[in-house]
Homo-oligomer: A and B are copies of this chain.
């Protein structure tokens, strides 16, 4: 039954608060163990909450007594206390899983058994300069020195750039259990939210995360500029990783994508995760909804985890003044399609996660345009000095931010085709307000460029390609062979055969590779066909197509036809001849 189970949560920060939003909508009582007035407690007015620390054994026992199932929003909990209560109450995920994962070295050792690819790593047993020097010679520099436990958001990590840094690195992490990790020269960081249920594992889309000072700044859903095969590999790696652990619930899996398109597991969290906040707006069920369903053995339709629309999530961090995070939220009020989430955590400390903003749009490119003013605003007002202890060198962007492209790509075999294209290009730009992406790409003179253009068009956000060519007109058909997008072929009349050569070359494609051919030299129709295609999926463009037809109808009926009736067909003809 939906209404009966009581869920206990260790921790009531922003993750617990967003989990509470999901519980509230299903009228599920969720009891929070955390300090009084913790963010999650503020949106739940019953008396089943427990005041105390999620690391305190007595408080945990009290929580367990009032619940049917326990879960956690944080890994740094007392797993021995959880083990004790596990005989009386269901603990999801298992305390064993939490214990393995909260020690990052243990986590890696455990996953090695399942052949999960990871950066090479070595345990430090003595935390001595000699020991780390030997490891440095083996793994090379820079290398990461990491605390096995209590490490998150870059805290507990130290980048050892060269052998000379070793003493200060050991000093900075003094007293902690340590391991060293080979530096991963990744080109991107990817993440996948996986949910483990009684029936197996399901996953949300592969997203791209941008970290700044080791703290997540942005999440792009879906990841930009990765191939379908990388996406599949990321999904498989994430699911295989999570399948290795016991218990139900949501896991956050972070990965490095290397320049050769191989993947390394970065780390896994056995809880709802910052890289999954975008799911609230972008998917039919959020990571919070499915975590709750997973731990309560309620159904999760896999389709509900698919992306409804691309999204970009931006974290709002505490800044140099107590209200700088509120200024960012205020600025976001004016950003179209921005969903704002403030966590009500009270006083802001520099670098503290105070809220987040998710922007959705029909394409990731549109979302990028919408969010840019907010990123600019944030970068302008951001902290100069954070109190984050151990700074990670800011990663250089290894791929340039993709150029924002038009939904319509126009290519021509030769610049001599441009004059034929002009009426169509003008129509797109001035009537429909669409600036097309125009290139010269000859199938015969620049076959490699043509192939590259067509094969990457879809990933650049192009939805339809117009290709103009004359004579032995191969361009439209060759472009169609290199893309899965619709290609519109415009036959250009050459010096002989009146354009019939171009028409036949374009329209008579072999079965399997279609080209949408329009009339000879009719670039207006090529442009109109392109906007009809876009309009079938965009009501505003479709309305403009309707309007265009209305204007043409009016022009013919109310102007030309009436004029011919008025002045007679003979005068009309004479005037036409004079205009020539």
Contacts and interface: CB of A to CB of B under 8 A. Distances in A.
Nearest to A285: B339
A546 B293 contact: no
A574 interface: no
A485 B520 contact: no
B508 A519 contact: yes
A224 to B, nearest CB: 14
A421 interface: no
Given A484-B535, A537-B537, A514 B518 contact: yes
- Interface footprint category on A: 35 or more
A281 B289 CA distance: 14
A528 interface: yes
Nearest to A551: B512
Given A228-B543, A516-B518, A27 B344 contact: yes
B293 A342 contact: no
A26 B329 CA distance: 9
Contacts of A497: none
A562 interface: no
A3 B516 contact: no
Interface in A273-287: 281, 284-285
Contacts of A41: 45
Nearest to A326: B2
Nearest to A346: B27
A41 B46 CA distance: 10
Contact of A532 (B43, B45, B484, B511): B484
Contacts of A437: none
B463 A536 contact: yes
A423 B511 CA distance: 10
Interface stretch (A253-261, A302-310, A393-401): A302-310
Name the 7 nearest CB pairs between A and B, nearest first.
A516-B516, A514-B525, A303-B336, A514-B529, A301-B336, A484-B545, A284-B337
18 contacts: A1-B323, A2-B326, A2-B329, A24-B43, A25-B340, A42-B46, A43-B43, A43-B44, A43-B45, A301-B335, A304-B337, A463-B536, A464-B533, A488-B516, A507-B507, A508-B520, A512-B552, A514-B528
